[in-house]
Structure 1
C-alpha cells in the first residue's frame, strides 16, 4: 500500500526557472511532488526554490549535503527555511554529520523530512570497488541504511533493487525514495540500477523520483498522466 497518495516526484533538473515552473504547472494534476537538484539550485538560488514551493506541491531539495557536521547543520537550517518538504544528505558522511543535520531542523514545524543517500543509482559494483567502497552495492546500501536509521533520519534514497534489503534492515516505517525509475521502453541513460514505476511501487517504494522520462517527453503532462495511470492513480 502506497504511503503517499501519489508517489511520483518530478525532477526539475534545469537551470531555466521559467521552464521549471512551466513544467511543474503542467504536470501538477498528475504528480505528488517536485524535486529540485544541484543544477537548478546552483544556477537559480534559494528564491527559485521558494517559487517552486509556491506551486503547491511538496518540494524535495536534492542537495546531498556531505561535509563536516557543523557545516551540514548550518546548511540544513538554511534549506529548511525555504519551505521544502524534504531534503537529503550523504549517508557516507557518517553518524555525527547526520545527527547534526537532524538536530539543526528539529525546531521546525512542520519539520522537513530528512533523507540520506546510500549508493547513487549511477554506480555499480565495479565503480564501488574503484572508489574503495565494498561491493556488492546491495550490501553497501544495507550498511548505510542501518547507519541512517541509527542516526535518527526519516529514510534513505536507494535503488529499487535494494528496497527489500532496506525494508529487512530498517523496518516498514522507514521511508524509501527511489530514483532511477524508467517507464517500460524508456531509455536508461546514465542510470545503472533501474526499475519501472509499477515494479518499484510493488517492491515497496514510498517516493519515485522521475526526471527525463517526463521532462524530456514531447508532452510532459501526457507522460506524467501515463505514469499515473500505470500506477492506478
Structure 2
C-alpha cells in the first residue's frame, strides 16, 4: 500500500474536549509546536462556536469538526454548508445512506467528510443489547463500504477495525482512529472507550490519523508525551513500509 504523504505533526489529531474557548486556545498555543491538527467536538463548539475554529486555523493549524451530524438529510446538508469556505479539514457525519449522501452533496473541495462507523465506546455486548447478531467488525465494514460508495472521503473507526478496512476496501480513503492510548496505559481498565489501541498499532493496522485527548492533556509533560507518540507512529510507519516492501518482492 502506498503511504499517504501526511506530515508527522498532522498524524495526531488532538481532541480539544474542554469546557471553554480560553482553555482550548491555551492548549493549542501550548501544543501546536508539535501538533498541527485539532478536533473540535460538541462541547467546545457549543461553548465557542465558530470563533474557536477560526482562531485555531488562524494559527496555521488544521481542524476536524467532530459534530457527528445526524438528522434528516436536508438539515445535514445545510449544516455541512455552514462549514464551507472556513478552512475546515474534516467534518464527521453519523447516519444512514441518505444522510451521508446529503453531507457529501455540497461540501467544498478542501473539506473531507468522514463517516462515523461505530463509536469506540460501543462493543459486542452493546450489539447484543440492541438485538444485533453480527460483530462490531462486520458492522464497521458494512457502514464503511456504503459510505465510500456514496462518496465520503473516509471513515472514523477504532484501530481494531483499521486492518480489515484496508484489506477489504483498499488504500484510497482516510481512516481516523479515536480511542488511542499511550502503550503503558492501553489496558489499565479505567477508560470509557472500549475498543482502544496504541498509536503504533493503529498506524500498523492502516490508520492515517489518530485522535488523542486526555492522555496528552492530563500528562505532566505533554510535549514529551507527544514526542514519544510521534516516535511510536514513525516506528509503525517504518514497520508497515518494510512489510509492504517484502510483499512486493
TM-score by length of 2: 0.86
2:56, 2:62 within 8 Å by CA — same for their partners in 1?
no
85, 88, 98: which one pairs with 1:84? 88
1:46, 1:82 within 8 Å by CA — same for their partners in 2?
no
Q: How does 1:13-162 map to 2 (within 5 A)?
A: 13-90=17-94, 93-105=95-107, 108=108, 110-162=109-161
Q: CA deviation at 1:163?
A: 0.9
Q: Which moved further from structure 2: 152-161 or 223-232?
A: 223-232
Larger Rg: 2
CA distance in 1, matches of 2:216, 2:191: 14
- 1:191-213 CA distances to partner (integer Å, 9 max, x unpaired)? 11111111111111101001111
* Structure 1: 5+ residue stretches without partners: none
What is the RMSD computed on CA atoms of the aligned residues? Answer: 1.6
* Structure 2: 5+ residue stretches without partners: 236-249
- 1:52-90 CA distances to partner (integer Å, 9 max, x unpaired)? 221211110111001111000000011234321110101
Q: Which moved further from structure 2: 128-137 or 140-149?
A: 128-137
Q: CA deviation at 1:136?
A: 1.0
- 1:129-150 CA distances to partner (integer Å, 9 max, x unpaired)? 2234443100000110111011
Q: CA deviation at 1:2?
A: 5.1
- 1:18-43 CA distances to partner (integer Å, 9 max, x unpaired)? 22112112221222411111111112
Change (3 A) 1:5 1:18: same
1:173 paired residue number = 172
| Greater relative contact order (CA < 8 Å, ≥ 6 in sequence) | 1
Q: Which moved further from structure 2: 39-48 or 203-212?
A: 39-48
1:12, 1:36 within 8 Å by CA — same for their partners in 2?
yes
Change (3 A) 1:32 1:51: closer
Per the alignment, in what secondary structure is the counterpart of residue 200 of structure 1?
helix
Report how many aligned residue pairs link the two structures.
228
Q: CA deviation at 1:111?
A: 2.4
2:36, 2:60 within 8 Å by CA — same for their partners in 1?
no
Per the alignment, in what secondary structure is the counterpart of residue 219 of structure 2?
coil
2:14, 2:212 within 8 Å by CA — same for their partners in 1?
yes
CA distance in 2, matches of 1:132, 1:71: 29
Per the alignment, in what secondary structure is the counterpart of residue 185 of structure 1?
helix
Q: Which moved further from structure 2: 59-68 or 93-102?
A: 93-102
Per the alignment, in what secondary structure is the counterpart of residue 184 of structure 2?
coil
Change (3 A) 1:111 1:232: closer
Change (3 A) 1:134 1:38: farther
2:210 paired residue number = 208
